Structure 1
């Protein structure tokens, strides 16, 4: 079951944003105010290598992201980063998993077509022979109350990041 495609010309309140990532790389993205609801009963699952490069994407991930599987595999996980997500949230994620710990959090993801979707994510290190070899992320439907709380917190963090730069 695929999601309908949407061109940016049809997107209400579309905006352009420049994102700078933790590794200081940057790109310009287009995003709209249209949310794609997370489907009931689905889990988005992906695996990355130690640098965050996607090595596996399940069908739900492919559908929700709006990207072709071939475009996802080999791409950095941050291609899904929405401009409303503060860098501090991803720094916390990376710091946590690089210590070998499990991370949980709410993430607003950007689809290829500019729409967005919220997830509740759990990211765990993949360990083989006492060595971390990559990471697995399992995302599920978040509660609307928790999304509202995350939006308020992330807006504060974004203001702090803007003031500091």
Structure 2
């Protein structure tokens, strides 16, 4: 299964306020477990997602800088909360408020990652969307993807520094977060 040929439709797919999307991955981001809500919202069957990279649900509107920050944090053994726009197999989008944590083996080494996602509040998304758009626009300004990522990440860091907040403080302060 591949997402390469899926075109975003601009149509939102809904999921319930009390539903939790859950997935577990290995250290490379390949899906080891996806709950029924994950599969329902992603419009895929369990056997379609197991073993696939988690990026199978990545929406092209998501700035790569946010994923860099997320991966940097969890690879360092930290938890991270983030707003993420995902895409279903039919091209519909859905926003989530994700809580991603590393999983550790008996020796204390990171053995994979666990993510729980909930429906975010609309007010939080209104605070996040313009920032994500600015980051994505910055990435697109550069012909070289590496340069675009670096410039977008710098813009993210500058935005946070200007606000006098860490990313976690910023996310939790965005319209009251998801709670």
User: Which protein has the bigger helix share?
Assistant: 2
Which structure shows the bigger proportion of residues in strand conformation?
1
Runs of 4+ more than 2 Å apart: 26-29
Q: Which residue of 1 aligns with 2:125?
A: 147
SS of aligned partner of 1:113:
coil
Instruction: Give the 3-state SS of the residue equivalent to 2:141 in structure 1.
Output: helix
**1:46-85 alignment, distance < 5 Å:** 46-85=23-62
1:109 aligns with 2:86: yes
Long gaps (5+) in structure 1: 1-25
Gaps of 5+ in 2: 144-179
**SS state of the match for residue 155, structure 1?**
helix
Alignment length (residue pairs): 140
Question: What is the Cα-based RMSD across aligned positions, in Å?
Answer: 1.2
Query: What is the CA-CA distance between 1:125 and the residue it aligns to?
Result: 0.2
Contact conserved, 1:102 with 1:125, CA < 8 A, in 2?
Answer: yes
Are 2:102 and 1:118 equivalent residues in the alignment? no
Report the alpha carbon displacement of residue 28 of structure 1 after superposing the two structures with TM.
Answer: 4.2
What TM-score, normalized by structure 1, do the two folds share? 0.82
Measured in 1, the distance between the counterparts of 2:28 and 2:6 equals 22
